[in-house]
Amino acid sequence: MQAEKALAAVGPLSTRARNVLSGMLAEGRRGWHLLVRDSQPLASRGADAFLIGTGGVFGLVFDDVVPETPTARGIEAHAEQLFADLPVGNHRNVFVPETIELVLVVAPHGRLRAADGLRRVTELDYRSLFGSEARLDRGVAGRIAELVAARRHGYTLLSLDRPQAQVDSGEVGLIGTEHLVEGDRVRALAKPFPTWMTFLDPDQRALVAKNYNGPARIAGPAGSGKTVVALHRMARRARRTTGKLLFTTFVRNLPRCQEQGFAQLAPGAMHRTEFKNLHSWAREFLDQRGEPSEMKLVQADNAFNLAWSRVGSRGLLAEIEPDNRYWREEIDRLIKGRGIHDFDEYAGLDRRGRNGRLVRSARNAVWDLLTEYEQIRRRRPFLDSNDLIADALIELEKNPLEELYDMVVVDEVQDMSVLGLRLVHALTGDAPNALLLVGDGQQKIYAGGWRLSDAGIPIVGRGEVLRVNYRNCEAVLALAASLEGKTRVDNLDGDAGTALSRSGGALPGGTAERWSGSDSDVEEQVRIQLDRITVQGIPLSATALLTLTNYDADRFRAALRRWQVPFRNLEDYTGADEDMIKIGTVYRAKGLDFRAVLHPFFEKALPAEPLTDAERDRAELVINQRFVAVTRAREYVWLGTVER
């Protein structure tokens, strides 16, 4: 047989390896290739073969014994070295070798203990590898196989595309990279994570493997791939440790969406990896310790409104700003969110992120409001969102975890409270490569400001900034840049960051439309846009309708029902591919992206002439929220401004 003849050229193989590899070659699979270890000795143990195709790169190990951890790590390290720095597709992208999945090929009925991070197939069901979710274009897979074979590090290239002929490993250039560039861009637009799972910019790739001797921070403008890099680092960490990992954030629905991407990067580590927002983690932790953990937000709202009516609504605070939401944020973010229990500490606080400074008499009034609120809360009693985090931190300080997390990734860190930062820091300490903070000061949508040093997290020399936008097409990027608020962007620790308008763009084209009109016409305009998006070939599953408030979201949900357009609330969105438009507030869209975004923006949300500190603060947050909504779009965005 031609398959056996091809395998004869690569040297001695075990019976199982010969059976499986010859079966692959005999069947043939379009777009799939084999790199088979030849007779040349390897410097260290490596995979017996690599299967490369549309489903990714698999390192095949033919054995009935699970490799010991040091051996498995050695095989992984050899594979990463072999596939490192492959410029595939275009000059911006290199292959990410950490995405190689090791597969143990065992006897059909053998019993084998579970292997962390190691996929298992038998010599009868190896075909399941060909059914893996598509990650590579066929041409890209072939190019990867050619480039690795050309390095002549002990592997011979055999093509399943041509099962009866062996491919000369020196025959490089069968697939021109110029034909792959457009394909990469199309995949990035249509389904970006599988592409980014396999290819990263060289600067991003360097951050995946970089070692830090303590907590680290990755900042950068919208669309620069911060979360993708973080997930890759987390997957790399999972392969090198055996302990627990945590991906957390302030946003409730975001972890569920990112969990799907990580499952493709490190499927063998899912049983020890948690994806949950920080309040969920704190509640479960307190439950395990037998401590009160129920957070009652409605009661918190009622208690604050009652406290305001008693000590705030007719005094100095009402004269400064009659909207009690401003003072609720002052207490939530700048006092309780920082764990401040002493008035003198609050009196001396630099109110970063809120314009101006409150005089001491005003701060005294704020403290009176806080005191009244706390008295009401304790009488009822209940926990608000800050109490839950504070109680978890107190419990950790009294009774630390028996085993710290091997890694905690904090996404959208700019919206965390200082207490939240202290809590995640307590889960890892200052261990090398254990705590990674990811965010962008320009996308801050909550009041109050801080520096990482305020939470006692040292990152000097361990702060990184990404500067290229990979999410937004040129037209979307231009519109978003025109909507930037304040010109100075914080890198999350007091230094200047990179604004979106100063970032480079990677994707051409796109559509960005602006409309201004009356409230009576906005729903019809949204309906027109849905038709235009469909004509452009963008499905509902890749479209989002984002608003600033729940009230506005409810209004457009009602409109979608009238139009019989199926929708999924962002609160319930898990990243699943379903033929429904996603709808919700910008708060629920943080960290997500969609091919098309519709954002009806009601101009009345902006003060006509923001003169007071409170008005300027509110205007800045609304501008940031609008900016975040628009930057969720990859190739199509509609910004509809409803005039006053």
Query: Is 221 known to sit in a ligand binding site?
Result: yes
Query: Which token pair is 167?
Result: 């491919």
Buried/exposed code over 302-330 (b: 16+ C-beta within 10 A; e: otherwise) = ebbeebbeebbeeeebeebbeebebbbbb
Is 514 in the same domain as 584? yes
| Contact by Cβ (8 Å): 300, 445 | no
Is 82 in the same domain as 162? yes
| Contact by Cβ (8 Å): 447, 353 | yes
Examine residue 242 and state whether it is found in any structural domain, yes or no: yes
Query: Is 222 known to sit in a ligand binding site?
Result: yes
Q: For 178-189, give the DSSP string.
A: GGTHHHHHHHHH
Q: Answer with the one of 353, 382, 411 that is the final residue of a domain.
A: 382
Examine residue 539 and state whether it is found in any structural domain, yes or no: yes
Is 301 in the same domain as 287? no
Examine residue 453 and state whether it is found in any structural domain, yes or no: yes
Is 38 in the same domain as 103? yes
Is 70 in the same domain as 151? yes
pLDDT of residue 305: 97
Is 72 in the same domain as 179? yes
State the angle between helix axes of 474-482 and 613-631 in degrees (0 to 180), rounded to the nearest 10.
Answer: 180
Helix (H) or strand (E) segment spanning residue 52 = strand 49-53
Is 450 in the same domain as 578? no
Buried/exposed code over 122-145 (b: 16+ C-beta within 10 A; e: otherwise) = bbeebeebbebeebbbbbbbbbbb
Examine residue 475 and state whether it is found in any structural domain, yes or no: no
Q: Answer with the one of 153, 188, 223 that is the final residue of a domain.
A: 188
Going by C-alpha positions, the residue among 613, 120, 97 that lies closest to residue 321 is: 613
Give the residue ranges of the chain where pLDDT is below 50. 163-182, 184-185, 188-189
Is 163 in the same domain as 74? yes
Examine residue 498 and state whether it is found in any structural domain, yes or no: no
pLDDT of residue 27: 84
Is 248 in the same domain as 397? yes
Is 118 in the same domain as 252? no
Query: Is 56 known to sit in a ligand binding site?
Result: no
Query: Is 417 known to sit in a ligand binding site?
Result: no
Q: Please state, in angstroms and rounded to a whole number, the distance separating the CA atoms of residues 156 and 168.
A: 8
Examine residue 528 and state whether it is found in any structural domain, yes or no: yes
CATH number where 598 lies: 3.40.50.300
Q: Answer with the one of 416, 434, 468 that is the final residue of a domain.
A: 468
- Map residue 546 onto helix, strand or coil: strand
Q: What is the side-by-side order of every strand in the sheet holding 594-602?
A: 511-517, 633-642, 594-602, 543-547, 581-585, 567-569
Query: Is 220 known to sit in a ligand binding site?
Result: yes
Q: Please state, in angstroms and rounded to a whole number, the distance separating the CA atoms of residues 228 and 208.
A: 10
Query: Is 226 known to sit in a ligand binding site?
Result: yes
Is 287 in the same domain as 306? no
Examine residue 306 and state whether it is found in any structural domain, yes or no: yes
Is 183 in the same domain as 212? no
pLDDT of residue 442: 82
pLDDT tens digits, residue range 114-167? 555 678 888 888 999 998 888 888 888 998 999 999 987 889 999 887 544 343
pLDDT of residue 133: 80
pLDDT of residue 185: 47
Query: Residue length, the chain?
Result: 644
Q: Is 34 exposed, middle or buried (0-12, 13-18, 19+ CB in 10 A)?
A: buried
pLDDT of residue 190: 53
Number of domains observed in the structure of the chain: 4
Examine residue 195 and state whether it is found in any structural domain, yes or no: no
pLDDT of residue 166: 41
Give the structural domain span for 549. Answer: 510-642
